[in-house]
Structure 1
């Protein structure tokens, strides 16, 4: 059984408080992505949640980062913030057709995030998951869904995600449920409790814990100490793990990501 790869990063790369704390003081803004990609192994693109990007922008981003680096892409809110998810087909097609295929091998998972008010309705979500294509052109796609309502903490939702081979995003969050069930051939985690008083966002013991969890995921295991919605099944083949430090004390997230990268090497 071979281990998967672990990709660790942050959300976005343009954030003014990172200038002088993560980025060198006089670094040109146009060079920030390349700098970040030299320190991290992944970035979650969040701007795509709010607006469509030009094909040229996707190409520019791909050219700015080294081989082996990956981008996760947050799906448009017009796909997920709707009452009837079965009607999202046109929005999904528009989102996927904006040019992200220009990322090539640097395209990682697509993140489909739902509002905290969206409750679990099996028929509603099954219809949505059927709309998610397995490929973009000749490139396989990986889909991850982030739900934020307690009604999703149930075995039926885990079964539905497994049936469609989509990952349930694990959230380390003070209010949203953490669902650690493994439902796809990869894992997607968003760690959202960094603290400004900690130079590395998370304390050393917490980073040690998440390093152990990341290596367990990559090895195909189901880590102890996390919350599961369904009975845990047998170990599987190694999984790629995508782990992002998001929100919380955002100014500390690059340091948190770099500290975790050092621990999993």
Structure 2
């Protein structure tokens, strides 16, 4: 069985800081990251979706964590086709527009290429330190299964190389009927890593909880089951704490997935208060139990 790494999708959320999960001595960003890295081997950086990171920030992350610690980085929204605030674009690349949000097509081709280049190069310090796990490309609900979108997955992989991208879908067409096998076979054929999710069902963005290893790395993200999934308040959207019984049902599934991959990463994305951190700890305990460790 391959390695299983369990962590959370945030370590700086204001509700986490207010929850008391961090000891009083962890009173600076540097100390909080060090404390987090002492509890978990991996973290997902979500803030990079809203604004691209600075190289100096990546360098500090690398310096402030122990050897063997891993950062996964969520791709900047513009690179996954989401609406992106003009103010989030690099200042010298911002288009002259009255729009608050723009899409890739709203940028000149050269500016779009520069966004890609700067985003990836900002991750160099993490890569050089051996602490860059993967870049998460979470696509919008309108990114359905079709030839052009499959081609974009290949384009992303080519742009990122040697950095490893992982792909999360939010459109159920990828999994409808025979499409599920088609999707997973396509990913396997090109050694593209699939991100399985646990999330509320019955919404436009809902996809089933499919787990599959399509490359050496397999990823699972737990979004919770909030009954306010469509809320614009991110804490209402993700404010769900898993019961131990719910997590126990996942343990054998995750172990089976890990038997098919070299590394399996699991991220708790129910980031409200210390829900994610406590659930991640519980899941580690449960997996230890499953493995008889």
Normalized against structure 2, the TM-score is what? Answer: 0.73
1:98 equivalent in structure 2: 122
User: Which of residues 179, 187, 190 in structure 2 aligns to 1:161?
Assistant: 187
1:188 equivalent to 2:219? Answer: yes
Structure 2: distance between partners of 1:76 and 1:248: 19
Contact 1:126 1:160 in 2 (8 A): no
SS at match of 1:120: coil
Residue 245 in structure 1 maps to residue 258 in structure 2 = no
Unaligned runs of 5+ in 2: 83-102, 227-234, 289-293
Distance 1:188 1:180 in 2: 9
Residue pairs, 1:44-55, within 5 angstroms: 44-55=44-55
Between 13-22 and 72-81, report the one with greater CA deviation. 13-22
Shift in alpha-carbon separation, 1:163–1:95, aligned structure 2, 3 A: farther
Note the C-alpha offset of 1:17. Answer: 1.9
Considering fraction of residues, name the structure with more helix.
2
What is the number of residues matched between the two proteins?
Answer: 239
How far apart, in 1, do the equivalents of 2:254 and 2:70 lie? 17
RMSD of Structure 2 on Structure 1 (CA): 2.6
CA offsets, 1:145-167, max 9 Å, x none? 11111111113222221222112
| Higher mean C-alpha displacement, 171-180 vs 35-44 | 171-180
Aligned to 1:127: 152
Counterpart of 2:130 in 1: which secondary structure?
helix
Q: Measured at CA, do residues 255 and 184 of structure 1 come closer, stay the same or move farther in structure 2, by a change above 3 Å?
A: same
Q: 1:159 to 1:101 in 2, by over 3 A?
A: farther
Structure 1 residues not aligned, in runs of 5+: 221-237
TM-superposed deviation, 1:15: 1.4
Matched, 1:211 2:251: yes
Q: TM-score, normalised by structure 1?
A: 0.80
Cα separation, partners in 2 of 1:78 and 1:84, compared to 1, 3 Å: closer
